Amino acid sequence: MTTIDREQAPTPAEVTADASGRPLPLRAAVPLAVAAGLAMLAAFPPYGVWPLAPVGVAMLGAAAHRRRMRAGAGLGFLAGVALFAPMLEWTNLHTGYLPWLLLSLLQAGYLALLGAATAWVSPLADRWRTAWPVLTGLLWVGQEALRDRTPFGGFPWGRLAFSQDGSPLLPLAALGGAPLVTFAVALLGGLLLTLAWRPWRGPRPARAWRPVAATVAAVLAVAAAGLLVPTGVRGGGDQVTVAIVQGNVPRLGLDFNAQRQAVLNNHVDATLTLAGQVAAGAQRRPDLVVWPENSSDIDPLRNPGAGARISEAADAIGAPILVGAVLLGPGAGQVRNAGLLWRPGTGPDLEQLYTKRHPVPFAEYVPLRDIARRVSAEVDRVRSDFVPGTTPGVLRTGPAVLGDVICFEVAYDGIVRDTVTGGAQLLVVQTNNATFDAAEARQQLAMVRLRAVEHGRAALMASTVGVSGFVTPDGRVSGETGFNTAEVVVRQMRLGDGRTPATTVGVWPEVALSALTVAALLGAAGLRRRRG
């Protein structure tokens, strides 16, 4: 490689490097790592430029290739901060900067591990250049598998798969879920990296175009692979009419809970208005009404007034209402975040009750509270710890069997899958975005789109403030609502009963890919040892 004068800007040829065994110059690698994070950020909603996800993967791979592990980790961390700090900005809207900063840095730490691993496997990529794209895909799946589970159950926000809600790669979710989509995105990034890293050298100059053409063909093949995967409802075929009630809140922010009676009234009144439209023949009568998470933060099982208001709405509309309720107990100082079916005429159906299985640490419960309080007094805003449920959210309403998940649970593969294997015909995500913003809500809706395709189920997201909407089994959205508005949307949804390959194989694609990741890391260790 040509020696670079420290005062001279790197040329394009220097940025792509060559086969000399040297990494990119650090002054090129640092801005490239930052650009990688920003490119991946732009792939996610609300921007939605999904082709930039593999571009960002390629940039980070180029920055970390052939570096020492410490340098690779540093470059991965820079990319992680550029990705997660702006992506998770909605976490500081009402809680201050410290929780946002700590969460962003924690998530960036996983990309630091990815950068170190990328540097570690460089000898494998250099020795078997055709394996470089696969290595890239494996490392990304391995990183996400770890980040999705640690610490305190993990935080899967920002997975590459969730950036592809408008991409031709989305149908791959029906074969192997989010891990396979992530692998495909990162594989594309690895192909781009392989193509751009250095000029290809064939055995004769006349053949130098062959590996380039083969790589371009592989890029196009991976990008188009999803178009060959069938999506849609598996089995079933019956239709139900569902109404989403987005009642809105008096004001956004953490103190929305102080207005809990007003929030409940908003949802009751909107349902009564819908009932009037049905009676006048202006609207189809729904078979089911879905209210969002926190639509009744007054426990309707213990507060007669709250229960009476919900019964008024259910009786007027003549259909069961899935209520997002905060229920007291089972112990003193404990509460539950629940989806509770409320039937017309009879009231709450306690046999059709789902309690959120994955409460959010430091938001719905505080692990290590004494230690956490030393970091931020904001933890004491969580006065009562939410108790996790133990069973999947499979609710039998009569017209349909619902697969209910609450808020961030939609990001966790197993929690959604358990409802489908338990018999769910329709996926329902109850959420409350009153403490966040429209960007967070749209990122969540992108996850709902992936889940619909993954399991071949129609799905919906019902939010207190937006964004709410319906999703077809092939990932198309209809009836999308605005943010911080009161709206009611009614749609017919087709039920599904079969299973996609992704539902059938479950976690095993991720297990297999993660095992291959470990094998690649061990293989790089062996190659380094022989070289050393």
Active site annotation includes 356: yes
Alpha carbon distances (Å) from 13 to 19, 28, 104, 272: 12, 11, 34, 67
Closest CA to 45 of 421, 385, 447: 447
Closest CA to 263 of 304, 308, 311, 309: 309
What DSSP string describes 125-180? Answer: HHHSGGGHHHHHHHHHHHHHHHHTTTTTT---TT-GGGG-TTSTTGGGHHHHHHHH
Is the peptide bond between 375 and the residue preceding it cis, with omega within 30 degrees of 0? no
Active site annotation includes 364: no
Given 14, 144, 293, 454, the catalytic residue: 293
Given 14, 144, 364, 407, the catalytic residue: 407
Quote the crossing angle between the two packed helices 97-120 and 132-147, to the nearest 10°. Answer: 150
In angstroms, the CA 394 to CA 405 distance is 9
Residue with tokens 């690895």: 190
Mind spelling out the 3-state secondary structure of 270-330?
HHHHHHHHHHCCCCCCCCEEECCCCCECCCCCCCHHHHHHHHHHHHHHCCCEEEEEEEECC
Alpha carbon distances (Å) from 375 to 144, 303, 378, 386, 431: 27, 36, 9, 21, 28
Active site annotation includes 144: no
Instruction: Give first-to-last CA distance, the chain, whole Å.
Output: 23
In angstroms, the CA 265 to CA 526 distance is 65
Instruction: Please check whether residue 389 is in contact with residue 358, taking contact to mean a CB–CB distance below 8 angstroms.
Output: no
Amino acid at 432: N
Given 14, 144, 356, 454, the catalytic residue: 356
Residues known to be catalytic: 293, 356, 407
